[in-house]
Structures are given as C-alpha cells and as structure tokens.
Amino acid sequence: MKDKQKRKKERTWAEAARLVLENYSDAPMTPKQILQVIEAEGLKEMRSGTSPLACLNAMLHSNSRGGEGLFYKLPGRISLFTLKRSRV
C-alpha cells in the first residue's frame, strides 16, 4: 500500500497526463478534461497551495514546444492536447 502511494506522490504532471492520454482517451483532450481524469483516478497527489489546473496547463504548453516534447497541441483556439505520434 505504501509503495502505491509513494509512486502516486512522486508522479510528475507529465507522467500523469501521459497516462491519461494513453489509457483513458482516444481523442485529444483539454487540460481541464485531463485534470478531471487525474483527480478521478488518483493519478497524482494534489498539494494544497497550488493550482493543479495552472500547473498542468503550464507543463502541457512547455512540453508541446519543440521536437523533443511529449505532447502535441492541436492548432486552433481551444487548447487540445494529445501525445506525439513518435512517442506512442
């Protein structure tokens, strides 16, 4: 039991978002949708004093720039993210 909680606590936003996009959705998702699954499935420990949506959103945007990013932001007005094909 402690092992599982330790892994959840140590999981980064990028790891949690990757798990959601790999296992819980076949379509691109908004940061808010990704966060809802992370919270519902308990994929990451939420700390008080932080804004989970702001943290997740910043991570998704920074990891969707450049060739080495894990995520891909679909062009357009709404922020829709998916995993890059080369990483799947």
Q: Report residue 67 as tokens.
A: 């060739």
pLDDT of residue 50: 78
In tens digits, the chain (88 residues) has pLDDT values of 555 555 556 899 999 999 999 998 889 999 999 999 999 999 998 877 779 999 999 999 999 987 788 999 999 878 999 998 764 4
Phi and psi, residue 33, nearest 5°: -65, -40
Paired tokens of 80: 């829709």
pLDDT at position 4? 55
Per-residue pLDDT, 85 = 75
φ/ψ (deg, to 5) at 77: -75, -45
Which domains are present in the chain?
A: 2-87 (1.10.10)
Evaluate if pTM is beyond 0.75.
yes
